Structure 1
Amino acid sequence: MIDWLGNFFSNRPLSSILDVLLVWYIIYRLIIYARGTRALNLLKGVAIIIAAKFISSTLGLQTIDWLLGQVISWGVVASIILFQPELRKALENLGRNLFRNRKHLRNPSQKLIDDLENALLYMSKRKIGALISIEANEKLDEYIETGTPMNSEISNQLLINIFVPNTPLHDGAVIISDYRIAAASCYLPLSESSLIPKELGTRHRAAIGLGEATDALTLIVSEETGSISIVKHDHLHRDLDQESLRILLNQYLMINEEDKDEQDILDDIRDFFTAKFTQKGGK
């Protein structure tokens, strides 16, 4: 095997390396797609059969090698029949990913911002309590595991339905990871800070606690007042109106299409909130 690999790479160094890399990439994408579906069990079975075929061929077990060869030959046809829905879905996803709108490709966060804004404003008007955390660079797996797995596409209707009172998932936080709802009814760490105002409840304390531990962005709708708040690290933005909410969501979630300097963005936001608080007579 080692001699064969050596001859393979020495005779065609560039093309063989590219060939191997492409094969590994295809295998990687198959595993990523199959994760969380019954197709993953199929891939595990295929890997075991291929490994057994290699071992039997190496050891000279001719009968077993022949039987495994037949299994592999007919297994391809059987897999197409058994997993036809999954294969069709994979081809549809491939077509959408290749030919989807270029703007959406550069800015996948735009739909997320729209859905979050619509859901938060709807729940704010009706005083529906909500707690939504969006994963950033630091993974939130340990918090996702405390909730109910969903792995669902994001829509404002789904977010609203999750937090409707007296439904199974309305308690706890929704966690968004990679532009999908990873889980609902998750437990977040409560902050022990003595600087948190007494009028803020458990949702705000949980959002601040997560901000202290990770770089996640957390959105809160108060069940008592309907006010909207945003927490990022140790920054708490309270009582946001629609315009303020939109600006902060774009600041934290938008993938910028232009190479605008980060300091200019922060200055624009600071000037906006300074003007808003001045008009209201705030500090």
Structure 2
Amino acid sequence: MKGFEFDFLKITITDVVDVVLVAVLIYYVYNLIRNTLAVNLLLGMFIVLILWFVVDSLKMELLSTIINKFMNVGIIALLIIFQPEIRRFLLLIGKNAFLQKNKAWWGYLFGRKDIERNNLARIKPIIDACKSMKKTRTGALIVIVKFYDEQFFANSCEAVNARISKRLLEAIFQKNSPLHDGAVVISENKIKSASCILPLTDNDQLPPQFGLRHRAGIGVSETTDAVAVIVSEETGEISYAKQGRVRMNVSFGELEKLLNKDF
């Protein structure tokens, strides 16, 4: 393809597309690992890489051999260390995020009001339940996933498979309920399961007032495509977790917008 020629380089359209695609890839990777422990892990691996070059150039045979052995299994180590981030990245690709955006545009052009009306009907029971639990300071963890992973959730949850309703959510999270200790998982417009034990986040930068409920909500949003609505038992404050990041003190208007966007 034709491009621009300079004294020292030649730039083609292919080169420009290549740079743009790499920039997009870096942007998505940055969004996946931002505010997570993966940043510290990457920094640690970068330091090891610099150390490897230094000891190799200084001919330090013993230390160079040890680091060489470590680098030889680098790909396997990366897959193990960054398994949650890789999982989220592949989920992003597998669910055709760009197609989802195109669907949103089609919805905007053809029947956006109908789509928003249907979404509001689905999320209204969740918002109403959160309002009630905020008043009574009832702790709650509501996890919403687009694709229900049977293997991930079935082993640690009680199956419910019921229609989403305000009263059912309130009943589940009542302190005397046998299902209140854990998370409710919503998918495919149904309450799929309750009393779910979820993985906790390893993020050590969270506010000290965050307990197990908040850490579980953030943790599941790190490893899956889920979003989590958390009602604090101590303050009644509502938090919203997505992709390992959390928004605190969310108003009901903000909650409606977030759920309408992500549901």
- TM-score interval, smaller chain: 0.5 to 0.7
SS of equivalent residue, structure 2 residue 127: helix
1:12-55 deviation digits (Å, cap 9, x = unpaired): xxxxxxxxxxxxxxxxxxxxxxxxxxxxxxxxxxxxxxxxxxxx
Q: Does 1:152 align with 2:151?
A: no
Aligned partner of 2:179 in structure 1 is 169
Native 8 Å contact 1:136 1:217 kept in 2: no
Supply the distance in 2 between the matched residues of 1:234 and 1:242 (Cα, whole angstroms).
Answer: 21
Aligned partner of 1:207 in structure 2 is 217
SS of equivalent residue, structure 1 residue 197: coil
Aligned partner of 1:237 in structure 2 is 247
- Residue number among 198, 202, 207 corresponding to 2:208 in the alignment: 198
Q: Rg bigger for which structure?
A: 1
Give the TM-score normalised by structure 1: 0.50
- Residues 105 and 237 from structure 1, CA distance in 2 versus in 1: closer, same or farther, beyond 3 angstroms? closer
- Residues 223 and 231 from structure 1, CA distance in 2 versus in 1: closer, same or farther, beyond 3 angstroms? same
Shift of 1:104: 6.4
Q: Read off the aligned partner of 1:176 and give its amino acid letter.
A: I
Give the TM-score normalised by structure 2: 0.54
Aligned partner of 1:182 in structure 2 is 192
Unaligned runs of 5+ in 1: 1-102, 254-283
- Residue number among 116, 121, 127 corresponding to 2:131 in the alignment: 121
Native 8 Å contact 1:109 1:179 kept in 2: no
Shift of 1:251: 2.1
Shift of 1:197: 1.3
- Aligned residue runs from structure 1 range 1-283, under 5 A: 108-137=118-147, 139=149, 141-253=151-263
Supply the distance in 1 between the matched residues of 2:121 and 2:154 (Cα, whole angstroms).
Answer: 22
Native 8 Å contact 1:227 1:238 kept in 2: yes
- Residues 196 and 211 from structure 1, CA distance in 2 versus in 1: closer, same or farther, beyond 3 angstroms? same
Supply the distance in 2 between the matched residues of 1:249 and 1:222 (Cα, whole angstroms).
Answer: 18
Cα-Cα RMSD: 2.1
Shift of 1:234: 2.2
- Residues 243 and 151 from structure 1, CA distance in 2 versus in 1: closer, same or farther, beyond 3 angstroms? same
- Residues 230 and 106 from structure 1, CA distance in 2 versus in 1: closer, same or farther, beyond 3 angstroms? closer
Which stretch shifts more, 141-150 or 222-231? 141-150
Q: Read off the aligned partner of 1:193 and give its amino acid letter.
A: N
SS of equivalent residue, structure 1 residue 182: strand
Shift of 1:141: 4.0
Supply the distance in 1 between the matched residues of 2:145 and 2:158 (Cα, whole angstroms).
Answer: 16
Native 8 Å contact 2:157 2:195 kept in 1: yes
Aligned partner of 2:72 in structure 1 is none
Supply the distance in 2 between the matched residues of 1:159 and 1:138 (Cα, whole angstroms).
Answer: 19
Native 8 Å contact 2:148 2:187 kept in 1: no
Q: How many residues align?
A: 152
- Residues 112 and 140 from structure 1, CA distance in 2 versus in 1: closer, same or farther, beyond 3 angstroms? farther
User: Greater RCO between the two (CA within 8 Å, min separation 6)?
Assistant: 2
